[in-house]
Structure 1
C-alpha cells in the first residue's frame, strides 16, 4: 500500500520503504508485532519516544495486521520513521532508490550555470539602484566561507524588506564562483519550487532537471562536488505559486535527508516573520534538525531574529562614491547618517530629486518622498497594480454604498495616493506614535497598503457626519458589508474616536451588528490600543465594564494580564460592580486573587479566597472560571497557608473535570482567546501543579487531559496547548525521564505562539522563561540560565509580579548551593 501523494516513479521505492519501515519499527520496539493487541503497547512506545500519538487503528493498518484500503498520512509515516531511527519518511524512501556512481554532475554544473546566469540578470534588472552602484556585503562573504567549511547542511540570510537580501545574494554568487570554481551554484527564485512534483524530494527533482538523465548518486561516493541551491525570497514564493506547507516540507525534508544526498546544501533569503513560521513548523516536524543549520539561531527570545546587519558607514561611503551626483556622507547630520545605513533609505536618497542634502534630511520629508516613490516608481509595478486592482474592485462593488460613479475614478485614484500623506498627519496609528526605529517603517507602510481603502472610507464618513458617534458606526457597518473589510473601517473609526475622546460613544462599540469573530478581534484590537493609551484606558475601561457587550468581548475575552496590577485591576473592580451573576463574580474575584498572589500580597489573597468561597458554584459555569477557582484554592493552600498537601484529591479533580461542559472551541476564532480554548479547567489545574512542583501529578493530569480532549492535538498553534506541553516537558525532566524530556523540550514552539498571540505574551511568557530555567539547570536550554533569570526578574519588576522572581530563585537555589 503506497502512502498518499507519491508519484508512480516513486511507487517502487515507497513500497520497499514501507516494508523496511515495518521491520525497523519492530526492531526499535524489541519484538515482532503479530497481533492487534501488540499495537497497544507499540502505540505507547511511539508516544513516549516521539511525543506524538498514532492511533491503534492506523498502527494495525501500517503493520499489515488489517487490510489497508487507503494510503497513510505523511504525519503517520514521519512519526513512525522517526521512532524507527530514520530522519524522516523521505529519508526512508531515499534509501530504497537505486544508486549508481555519479555521472551527472557535469551536466548539472552546465544546467545550473545557465539557470544562475538567468536569475542574476533578473536580480540586476530589479535592483533599486543601478547594480554597478551596489556593493557586496563584507559579512556575507565571511558567513559563506565559514558555512562552506562547516559540516552544516543549510543557512539563511534573514532580514526585513529593504535590507538588500537579493542584491546581497547576487554579489555572493559572483564572489563564490571565483573563490570555488568547482562548486556548483544554482541560484533560483524560491517560487520556482512550484515545479517540484507532489511527493518528490528537492534533491531528486534537481537531479532529474540538471543531470541529463544520469542515475541518482549513491551515498558515500567519493569525488562528489558540493551543489549549493540558493533560494531567493522564500516569503515571496508562497504569495505567488507555492503553498506554504509544500515549501516548508521540501526544505525540511532536504535537510533531514542529507545523509542520503550529502552533495546538496541550501542557502536562502527571507523575512523574519516567514522565517519564524518556518522554524515553528520545522520544530514540530524535526525537533533535532536545528543542529544542521549554520548561522541561524532557533532561539527567538528577545525579538525577531535577523542576521543581516545595517550598512556600515564605510559601506555607505563606498556606495555614495559610485553615485553620479555628489553626496557627502560627512556633511549629513548624525540622524541622517543613521537613517541611510538602512539600504532602502540609502536607495531612496540616491534616487531623490536634486536638491540640498539638508532639505532631504527631514525625516518627515524623506518618508513622504518614500511613500510617493512606492506608488509612482515603475520598479514597484506589481505593488502598484495590486493597489489599483483593489481600488477598482471596491468601486465597482460598492457604487450604491459609496454613491460613486465611474466618472469619479480619476479623482479617487488621486485621493488614494494622497491618503498616504493623510495617514501621516492624522496621528492615529500605533506605529506612527513610536515610529522612531526606521527599520519598522516598512511595517507601518504595508499596514497602510492593506487597509488604505478602508481608511479613506472611514475619513469620508467622519467628514460627512462631523465626528464619531455610535450611530455613525452602525451606518458604516450596514453600508460597507459588500466591501468585505468592514471591521477594518470600524477599527479606523475607533482610532479616530479615541483621538477625539468620544469615550461614552465608544463604550457601546460592541453593540454593533458584527459577527462573533469580528467582535472578538475588535476586543483584541481595542485592548491593545488601550494598553498604550493610559488616559483613554482610565476613562473607557470602566465604561466598557458596565456594558453587557463590553463585559463579554472586552473584559472576559481580552484578559489583559499584562496590566493585572494596574489598569486592568480597575477594570475588574468595575466589572464586579456591574455584573452580579455568580459566574461573573467567580471570574472577577479569581482575577483579583491572581493579581495579588503574583504581587505576593498574601493578606489580600486571603480576603479574595474568602470572597471566592462565598460565590455559589455550579458545574454549568464556563470552564475557565471553574479552573481559576481550583487554581486559587490550590496555590492559596500551598503558598499562602504553607500546607504541602493538595487541596483536592486527583480523583475528585478528575470527576469534576468530567462534569464541566466543554468550552466553545473554534480554531477560526483566535484560538488563544479566553473563551475559545476547549480545556480551560484542565489548563489551570496543570498550572497550579507546575507552580507547586508536583510533577508526578502534573504528568498524570496531562495524560488525563489528552484522553478527555484528543482534539487538543489539532490546537498546536495555541498558547495554552504549548504551555501544557512545556509543563509536560518539565515534569518528564523531574521524574527522571530525561531523553523524553529533552525531545519534548526541543519540539516546543511556545515562544513563537507567544509572539503570534501577543495579548498573552506579557503574562504567559514567564512560563517560557521558567521552562528555560528548568532545562538550563541541566545544560539543555536554548537560553543561558543567567539570561532567563534576569528576564524573569525584569518582567516581575515591570508587571509588579515579584512572585516569579521568588519562585525562579527557589528553583536554582539547590544549584547555587552545590556550587
Structure 2
C-alpha cells in the first residue's frame, strides 16, 4: 500500500545504498546516485527526489509509482510490487508467537513510517541531531498528556523553536529508543505534508487507520481493538509534525484541520487513541484559534501550563542547562561556557540563535569567537536568512519600515496596532504572515468581545535595534558619515538602546573597511561608557579577524591615541578577566603615560581581586616605571604605586608601612576642598587604592569619611549615574555604613545602586563586579535585619557571579556573610562547608593576610 505508511521505504533505502556501495549517504552524493541509477536502469530519478527519499528534503506527497519502480529495479527487482512481496514477510511477519498479533503487526508498520519521518527531521536539522538535547519540558508535557483523559495535544511556537526535534527526542524516549518507556504502544509519526496530500483527496484519518488493520473485511480499527481489548497492547499515538499555513495554504489547512478535529472528537469512546501535533504560532492563531474557546475544544485538547494566549506559544525557551548541554556536545570547553554572561545565555536559549551560534563557532580548529561579536553575527545571519533571502523580501522590508515609523524607532514604545500597520493592504498579508511565522514580529491578541485589538511588536529588542540602524543607513545612502552619527546621537538619549544602534552602525563600517568612518565614532560627545563599549567592539573584532585587509593600526594609526587618549573612557567596567585580552591589545597601542597607567592599574586591580599575588607583582613593577615620570604624579601628594604597594605588602606579609599609612591618612591636608571638575587617571587610581587600604585595615569610619569628602571634592561624579567608578565608591560607602551600624543609610545607597544597574541593564555593565559587590552588601544588610532567607539568597547569587569572575575577594566577603548566617541558624554542615572553601582560597594564594582581612568585614 503506497500512502502515509511508506511501508518499506527504510528497507528500500538500505537496499539502494547497498547497490550504490555505501553505508551512509550525504546530500551532495545524491547527484552521483542519480547518475548510477540512470546508468543501470536507463531511467532518470532527479537529485531532488532522491533527497526526499533519503530525508534531506521535505516530502509533501507520497512517492510516485515511477520513482518506487525505478529504485526497485536499481536493486535488481522487476518493480516495486516484487520488492514488497520479497521483503514484506521478513519485515512485517515476525516469527515469535508473541508477535503474531494484529497489534504487533501494526506496531511494526508504524515503526517503519515513524523511523522514516524521524530520519527526515534529523537530516533537516540545522544542528547535527546527535549534538541536540532533549527538551525536558516537552517530555513532561507529553507524559502528562498521555496519562490524562485528553484526546489531543499540540506544541505551538514560532519557526526555529525546535518543535520538530523536540518531537523526535520525545518519540525516541517514549517509543523508539533502546529502552522505550511505552514499548507496547503503537506510535505513528508522520509529516503534515504527507497527511495533507491524502486527506485533501478525500481520505479521513479514521479510514486510513481502518486500512492499516488489513483484515480485508472492512473492520473498524478503533472498534475492533475496543472489542478485542486483550489484543491491544497499549495506546495508539498519532504524531503529526509541521502544520504550516504558509506551505500548505490557509484554505487547505482549514480543511485538513476540520478532518483532524472530526477524528479527535470521534475518539470520545476510545481514550487509548491520542493525537500529538506541532504547529507554528501564526498558523494556530489563524486556523486553530477560532475554535479553542468552545467548551468541546477545551475538553479534548491539552495545551499545557506554559500556554500564552496572547502570543500563541506553549513551549518555553531552552533552559540554561539544555543550552550548555548542546554546547558541550559541540566540544566547547566547559570553562569557556561557564564564563558566558547571563544576558548572552538568555539569547542562546532561543533554539534558532543557538543553532546559528554553534554553526558560527563549530569550524574545526577555529577558536571561540567572543560572545559580544558572536551575538551580532548571529542576529545578522538570522535576519539575512529570514528577511533578505526571502522571495517576499521587498514586502517584508515595507512592513518593517512602516513598523519603525509607527514606533518612531522605539521612542513611541514597542507596540503598534495591527490594523494601522497593514492598513487593509492585501499585498502585505502573505509577507506579514511569514514575519510572524519566522519570529521577526509577534502578535499579542488583546481583543475583547466588543473590541478587536491586536498589537504587534518585534520579537526581540535587538531586532528593533538592528532595523533602526539600517533605517538610518538607508537615509544616508549606506554611508556611515559624521552627519549620520550626529543625527543618531541627537535622536536618542543616552541608553543601552543607543549604544546598540551605534554598534550596528560600527559593525557596518568595519565590514566595509571604512577606517575614517570608524574614527568618527570616537569623536562624538558620547558618554564614557558608550565609547568604552564601541572601542571594545572594534578591538575585539580586529583581534578575531586575522584575514582582514585593514589591520588595527590602520584604524588607529600612530599618534591617534596621543591626541585622543583612550584613558578617558576605559573605566572600572573593564575590571574583568574577560577584558584582559582586549586590555593587553590596547596596551600595545597606548602612547601616552595616562593610557598606559589606566590599563596597568586596571590589570593590577583585576589581579588583586583574584588574589593573584604574582601577577600583582608584575603589574606593580610596570606601574613603578610609569610613576617615575613626573607627568603621572603631577601635584598629587602620593603616587598610585605607593598606594598599591601598601595594599600588596599588607596582604602579602601583614606588614604596615607606618610612614606610608600616615601619608594616606593625611589625604585631607592635600585637598583644598575647592570643587574639582574631573578626576585624572592618576588620581582615580590613588582613590581606588585608598578605598582598598581602609577596607583591608578594617577602618570603616575613615572609609566613610573619605568617600563623603571625595564626593565633596568632585561633585561632578554624582551627576554621572552610570559611571562605574561612582557606583563602586557608593558601594564601599554603603559597606562603611553597614560596618558602623548605620543600616538605613546603607540600605538607601544599596537600593539606589540596584536601581541604576537594573535601569541600564547587564548589557551595559558587562563587567558585573559592581552587581556582585552590591548584592554582597545587600546580603549583609539583610543579615543584620535578621532576614536570613533573603540574605542567603542574595549571598549565593553574588557568590555565583564572583566565581564566574574569579574574584576571590568578593567570594571571601560572601563566605563571611554566609558563615555568620549559618552559625546563627545552627546550620553546622553548611558552616563547615563554607569554612572549608575559605581554607581553599587561603591555600590558593600567597596573600596570606587576605582571608583574615576580608573575613572580618
Q: Please report the TM-score for the alignment, with normalisation by the length of structure 1.
A: 0.41
Looking at CA atoms only, which structure, 1 or 2, has the larger radius of gyration?
A: 2
